[in-house]
Amino acid sequence: MDTAIISLVCIAVLIVGMVTVTFNAFQAATSVADSLKEMEEQASDIRLTQISASTWPAHTVCVIAYQGSGGNGFLRTADIASGGQIADSVEDSLEFDSADSYQPSIVHISDDVYAIAYRNSASNGSLKTVRIAAGGQIADATIDTLVFEASGCYEPCMLHVCGSTYAIAYRGPADLGYLKTVQIGDDGQIADAVLDTLEFDGSQAYEPDLVYVSKDIFGIAYRGGADYGHVSTVGIAAGGEITDTVIDTLQFDSSRAYEPDIVRVAGDVYAIAYEGAGSGGYVTTVEITSDGAITDAAMDTLRYDPSRGSEPDMVPVAGGVYAIAHRGADSDGFLTTVEIAASGQITDTVIDSLEFDTADSYEPSMAALSETVYAVAYRDSFGAGRLRTVEIAVNGQITDTVIDTLQFDSSACNRPCMVRVRDSIRLMVTNQGQTALARYSRWDVIAQYRSGSTSYLTYLEYTTDNPPADNQWTVEGIYLPDETPEVYNLDILDPGEKMKLTIDLKPDIAAGTTGRITISTPNGVTAQCLVKEY
Amino acid sequence: MDKVIVTVLLTVGGVVAALAVFNGFYPAIIESSGAVTSATSKVSDRIGSRIDIIQVADNSTAVDAWVKNIGTVNIDSVERSDVFYGPEDNFSRVTYGGDTPPYWDYQFEGSYTRWQPTVTIKITVHLAASPDSGTYIMKMVTPNGIFDETTFSVD
């Protein structure tokens, strides 16, 4: 009897043990299955999630600085739709100097602050800061003024160096080439003294044009002694200290080179457009390494306009295509596209050409408004200020007619200098997947770009405020595929819908450079968008 | 009398046998249950862990990488992760923390304090000098062996 009881106890212990093991194994299997199910759901979620990002087509406001009525300095803003249609009247106007103001060069400083370097009525170099809102409204008074050169300043050209440091190259006393650095705060306040000065050419330096080369190296193209074409390199530290001597110099044209305009092509290759021998329009490529060394000879040259190529302004179009606005035959306004390879080779024939004004057109200043729409501001045959928009395809083909025209100053306009008014970056994120997307605070937006000589990699904070503050982003709206506001499932990015993201970067992407914005959904699906700052 | 003695002996033997069986099986059962539970937990943890390097680029004498937890579980002890960095043909493990480059550290983006699902951390690899131009590899391995890697170029 006892033996039976003991046996039963043993059997019970064994059964309990087996049940425990089985139960635990079952629990384990269930837990693993749950995890697998969760991951499968998430994997499926990721598979079904797909987004794309691109820039949102938007209207552009341009600001034109020029010498206007009475020889005084003026600013005018014009609103241009994404298709190139110009508003019928200027948005706003400011007489920034009520005395003679020559050859203004305008650059963006920060947010709504801009700086204008010009020759004032005493022929001195003057620098003023102003406020221009994204919509084109110009504050009624200038912010600050500095006379940076009191002994003669001609044809100043200003460029951002780093942070609050800016460089101004100009033809100074005795026609020598000068380079100065100044400090301008984000609020437009200009430091009372120049940071540093270099006489970069002791012979002659007309119409200098600055270009960024590498971290602290800058290039200057100019018309040097005997009117030959020169390009020199100098070092400028972030704090504004300029190297005591130029690093290297190349005489790229030993005939003549009036009003050179230099742009970077790719890597160490730079292109210079200028009025050369016989007043023809020339473009030449040179090699400048990141340490400022210039290869001893020009790489290639093209005479893109045999008759005349005065006052050229060159802007990159896309993929090795460059557009040059210039005063051509009979002093009419011309636009020519050329192809320049990354190796510096220039295609022997131009891609296309358009006579954008069949009457006299002086001193054109061009700005890219989008990938295919460009604006040209110039002095027309009446001496008035005129703005025209044209379409240039990415392959360089120019549409045969101009898109629109505005006479922005009917009285006078000399040496207009045009830039786009900075606005927030607007991206379009399209939900190309099959799942609805929300929880925007769990999205990631990261910007990689260059400003001045500094590279930035910035993680942007999400905010529900619109407009966002510096280095923040927000959802401005969600739209149906036809870009009308969404109707159902509000605030959720449903499949097929488009979301407008507004991003406020500080500092801004440098003009003429391209930034990269990476956007990630909460489940890690990413899209990237290149943002070109024209 | 003999029957009583036999019964007592059998009872004692039975109790001893029962104790022996209990002592032998019970710990084994408990241990195996614990082992199964532990293994299950680790398997679930691994199954639920996933990371994605969503952006990486050099930033002067540092390399910044943003890594997102795209799994379903929290990832703890981030500092015990392994970070590998270097040219694509010569990368090596970078130690966590310290004052002498190279080393790496991290911070949470946003107001988070745990690396929970959907949260992104910024990993910074501090270098002694700016990296030369070329193609580089960044790889992160979490403490439970989940990893992601990406290549990027330095101009």
C-alpha to C-alpha distances, A483 to A428, A498, A501, B144, nearest whole angstrom: 10, 7, 14, 45
Residue B44 has pLDDT above 80, yes or no: no
Beta-carbon separation of B54 and A441 below 8 A: no
Query: Are the C-beta atoms of A75 and A65 separated by less than 8 Å?
Result: yes
Name residues whose C-beta falls within 8 Å of residue A86's C-beta, 6 or more positions apart in sequence.
A78, A79, A80, A375, A387, A389, A404, A405, A406
Report pLDDT digits (tens) over B81-119.
999 999 988 899 999 998 899 999 999 999 899 999 999
Segment holding A8, helix H or strand E: helix A2-48
Nearest by Cα to A100 from A154, A33, A168: A154
Report pLDDT digits (tens) over A34-92.
767 776 776 777 778 889 988 887 789 999 999 999 999 999 999 999 899 999 999 99
Ramachandran bin of A267, using left for φ above 0, alpha for ψ from -120 to 50, beta for the remaining angles: left
pTM over 0.80: no
| A10 → closest Cβ in B18, B60, B122 | B18
User: Residue B2: how many CB atoms within 10 A of its CB?
Assistant: 6
Residue B24 has pLDDT above 90, yes or no: no
C-alpha to C-alpha distances, A478 to A46, A325, A481, A505, nearest whole angstrom: 21, 39, 10, 21
Nearest by Cα to A361 from A383, A340, A344: A383
Decide the pairing of beta strands A206-214 and A217-223: antiparallel
pLDDT of B33: 67
pLDDT of A488: 86
As for the ipTM of the complex, it is: 0.74
Provide the β-strand partners of residue B99: none
**Considering Cα of A61, then A64, then A65, then A71, what sign does the dihedral take?**
negative
CB-hemisphere CA count at 13 Å for A355? 10
Q: Identify which has the larger pLDDT, A318 or B15.
A: A318
Mean pLDDT of chain B: 87
Which strands make up the sheet holding A113-119, listed edge to edge? A102-110, A113-119, A125-131, A144-149
| B33 → closest Cβ in A20, A34, A444 | A20
Query: Are the C-beta atoms of A82 and A373 separated by less than 8 Å?
Result: yes
pLDDT of A281: 98
pLDDT of B1: 64
Token pair listed for B120 = 């992104």
Query: Are the C-beta atoms of A240 and A194 separated by less than 8 Å?
Result: no
Beta-carbon separation of B22 and A446 below 8 A: no
Which residues of chain A fall short of a pLDDT of 50? none
- Residue A518 sits at the chain B interface (C-beta within 8 Å): yes
Token pair listed for A125 = 């170099």
pLDDT of A84: 96
pLDDT of A455: 85
Query: Are the C-beta atoms of A153 and A216 separated by less than 8 Å?
Result: no
Q: Which of B4, B29, B49 to mutate to test the interface with A (most CBs of A within 10 A)?
A: B29
Three-class HEC string of A110-166? ECCEEEEEEECCCCCEEEEEEEECCCCCECCCCCEEEEEECCCCEEEEEEEEECCEE
Task: Identify all chain A residues contacting B47, using CB atoms and an 8 Å cutoff.
Answer: 32, 35-36, 38-39
Q: Which of A453, A457, A525, A529 to mutate to test the interface with B (most CBs of B within 10 A)?
A: A457
pLDDT of A21: 64
Quick one: DSSP state of residue A46? H
Task: Identify all chain B residues contacting A7, using CB atoms and an 8 Å cutoff.
Answer: 14
- The Cα–Cα gap between B11 and B13 comes to 5
- The Cα–Cα gap between A353 and A110 comes to 36
Beta-carbon separation of A520 and B64 below 8 A: no
Query: Are the C-beta atoms of A502 and A468 separated by less than 8 Å?
Result: yes
Task: Identify all chain A residues contacting B70, using CB atoms and an 8 Å cutoff.
Answer: 42, 46, 523-524
Segment holding A176, helix H or strand E: none
Instruction: Specify the length of chain B in residues.
Output: 155
Residue B3 has pLDDT above 90, yes or no: no
Ramachandran bin of B24, using left for φ above 0, alpha for ψ from -120 to 50, beta for the remaining angles: alpha
What Rg, from alpha-carbon coordinates, does chain B have? 27
Beta-carbon separation of B17 and A442 below 8 A: no
- Residue A277 sits at the chain B interface (C-beta within 8 Å): no
